[in-house]
Structure 1
């Protein structure tokens, strides 16, 4: 199908814009914010929220804990995206997703404010933070014997997968499920199929990932483009023995081939895997609220993955 009609109408607001314009020009920022307005206003579900820190090898790691009204039946560690260099606990991909999953799945959700790849910070520091937060959560919920999932979006999905691989290799408590939204886990990233590439040709540049921007994310995260550690871009690692995995893919996403390939790799490795294709959506659609139908459906897909 074509780009979602609601987003297609709004995409004209992004014509001719780049990230530098949006940050420096108030008029450009207003256009950018209007693009990200949703069909309906989001309201916080009935969950409580607590900010705290947990110990990690590089210092304290900030986390935000979402607790449902009733006794949690499961738990989830969640990692936002942002190209390894951006994002925080306030962005919808962290806050809205965590609150919604806490309410819908009756889950204790811990959103992690991992250290970003900036100012000299590189791999494996963000993975170390995610690993530390996971061990803290696993220890916290172990007495309740509830299933615990691990997930993330885009770069956060890469961190979640890297963490799961490390837990397996170090024989530490493992997640019961992986929840990965539009994962970026391969470099070089596989090419789009011809039909999808044609459908994306007229999208504004702000909705696209170029070869240069993908290389820039990897170079900033790892420090180089060659001899990459397998666990940094974990699509190159052994995937045997990982838990059941649910992958949300965005239809109009230059990084979608990475998620497609990961699903095939997991299946080949004997890992139970399901995918959901968010029709008409660009990369990062979980940075919108569930009034957009494909966001709502993506969240429900993750609930079913977490619930087993």
Structure 2
């Protein structure tokens, strides 16, 4: 189907790429200026900033508690942004929606960004926070059951890489992985996947922009063939956590996400691929106000809570908020 008309209206206002060099500082400032005021954000029982002490160093996190309960499943969330954009603030609304619709306590990770910290710094931060969450389970109110990880775009890359790293290390506490339109193959040959050509221009994220956007993450010479850089390159996916891969119809990255889901299934992993028709890359962050795209959060809740009782409910108070 064609792009959703509400998305099309926004896309029509965007300037065409002019090929000028990317300026991370200016782009981050532009993102920060778009962050919703606190009073306009979805209220939850509590939202608190904290610091996770990990082998990679101290990592800022933001902890979202949806409702008051005795214990919770834990969902560790890695924001997107091509490895050099995004923050706890720019994706605050995503974390809030995930907490509300899953009933899980969400821990959003403020990992180090490229180019100041190229591969593997962000990955190490994300993995470290997952291990920290398991170690701090009692103080976090973890029910000892679900320990899920989720991420969008480059955050989806981290989800796949963290799941693989945990498996290799014998850390078997991760129960679910959720990947929203993930960036899983940093070899950006435009002929590698049909969606790279089909959705090359006009849908927000453009195929020609993938290499320059992600070059900051590879600045230290990281090899796109490394499975921890491009998780789709991993040869053996057996033993990884159950997966939900959500893709967008009009996204250059659509096909690599869907192929990864098929590879997981072929390896014996319980994997579901869910394509959102009429959507573009970034729709979970940018267009979840459209009901059919907000559905991605509800689908995530259903995936995490299948066979369990969730803490999903209506919160009436806001705790300590950043």
- For normalisation by structure 1, the TM-score amounts to 0.84
Q: Is the 8 A contact 1:47 1:99 kept in 2?
A: no
Q: Secondary structure at the match of 1:55?
A: strand
User: 1:20 offset after TM fit, Å?
Assistant: 6.5
Aligned to 2:125: 129
Q: Is the 8 A contact 1:191 1:257 kept in 2?
A: no
Q: CA distance change for structure 1 residues 118 and 69 in 2, over 3 Å: closer, same or farther?
A: same
Unaligned runs of 5+ in 1: none
User: 1:173 offset after TM fit, Å?
Assistant: 3.8
Q: CA distance change for structure 1 residues 292 and 22 in 2, over 3 Å: closer, same or farther?
A: farther
Q: Is the 8 A contact 2:3 2:250 kept in 1?
A: yes
Aligned to 1:160: 159
CA distance in 2, matches of 1:154, 1:10: 20
> 1:35-74 residue pairs with structure 2 within 5 A?
43-71=41-69, 72-74=71-73
Number of equivalenced pairs: 291
> 1:203-242 residue pairs with structure 2 within 5 A?
203=202, 206-210=204-208, 213-222=209-218, 223-224=220-221, 226=223, 228-237=225-234, 238-242=236-240
Q: Secondary structure at the match of 1:69?
A: coil
Structure with greater proportional helix content: 1
CA distance in 1, matches of 2:43, 2:19: 32
Q: CA distance change for structure 1 residues 5 and 227 in 2, over 3 Å: closer, same or farther?
A: closer
- For normalisation by structure 2, the TM-score amounts to 0.81
Q: CA distance change for structure 1 residues 226 and 60 in 2, over 3 Å: closer, same or farther?
A: closer
Unaligned runs of 5+ in 2: 307-322
Aligned to 1:14: 14
Aligned to 1:175: 174
Q: Secondary structure at the match of 1:102?
A: helix
CA distance in 2, matches of 1:112, 1:164: 16
| Residues 175-184 or 55-64, more deviating | 55-64
User: 1:209 offset after TM fit, Å?
Assistant: 2.7
Q: CA distance change for structure 1 residues 54 and 188 in 2, over 3 Å: closer, same or farther?
A: same
CA distance in 1, matches of 2:9, 2:237: 40
Q: Secondary structure at the match of 1:221?
A: coil
Q: Is the 8 A contact 2:98 2:301 kept in 1?
A: yes
Aligned to 2:4: 4
- Runs of 4+ residues deviating >6 angstroms: 19-25
Q: Is the 8 A contact 1:70 1:106 kept in 2?
A: no
User: 1:140 offset after TM fit, Å?
Assistant: 2.3
Q: Please, which of 68, 93, 101 is the counterpart of residue 104 of structure 1?
A: 101
Aligned to 2:82: 83
Q: CA distance change for structure 1 residues 289 and 99 in 2, over 3 Å: closer, same or farther?
A: farther
Q: Does 1:293 align with 2:294?
A: no
CA distance in 2, matches of 1:180, 1:145: 22
